[in-house]
Amino acid sequence: MKKAGNKLLIFFLILVQSLLAMAVGIAVLYNASGSDVPANVYAGDLDIGGRGYEEAARAIEADYEARFGTWNIRLMADDDTIYEIPFSSIDAAVDGMATLEPLMSIDGIGGMTRLIRTHFGNHTTVLSPVIKFNESKLRMKLIDLSESINRDPVDARIYYRDGLIEKEPDDPGVSLNVNNAADLIRRQLATDPFAVIDLRAGKALDTVYADVTMKDFDAIQVVLGEYSTSIKDPALDDSVESAVESINGIVL
């Protein structure tokens, strides 16, 4: 019985020591994260290691402000055409302190591991910028771009030429989904704001199907008959030609 009590006492002593060591470790991490930015830390391409946090925050904001003044958000449509929205047109700006937040906070075991690697390991840390922008202006820009990106569908067509039936397939159109495009851009800005954003991802481009497709012509394979007549009154030429153009390609 006495041996069991001794073992229990030893267990509690070890537990207390472990908790104290953990508390000291957390305190050390907090102290480390509260002084200067560790070495080998980058905000995008900007080296901010060794700077005070306020200085680093100002440097981050100035760096992105300069780039946002001349760079554009680049969007790739379905035909690989690149469309651009100036960062300045949506009031884009980086919050420097929010960008540095992962270095100054411990959020669970993962946060402790991250801080240990950053502060005490030979590890390069790249922080993603926290970008704020005017979403209403972004949506207005996307609506403007949709006039260039949107493409109407083309119906399938059928012809009768030289005794043969000829068919031309339909061509689906495309329509920019402004809501999905805004969400896609928001996610990209949170990681790499200068990368080309493929609008085909994230369901930002909706397919617009033609009203008449090749399937509508499946049953039309042969000509059952044909008839022609002459126009005796030349005054009717223009009227007949206009009527022919109006019904040409129409499936009844």
Q: Where are the domains positioned within the chain?
A: 34-247
Placement of tokens 């005796």 in the chain: 232
What span, in angstroms and rounded, lies between the C-alpha atoms of 78 and 200? 6
- Do the Cβ atoms of 85 and 96 come closer than 8 Å? no
Which pLDDT value is given to residue 24? 45
pTM here is 0.69
Q: What 8-state DSSP symbol labels residue 40? A: T
- Do the Cβ atoms of 57 and 100 come closer than 8 Å? yes
Could you state, in chain order, the average pLDDT of each consecutive group of 10 residues for the chain (252 residues)?
A: 56 55 49 70 89 93 94 95 97 94 64 53 82 96 96 89 82 96 95 93 92 85 68 72 68 52
Which pLDDT value is given to residue 23? 43
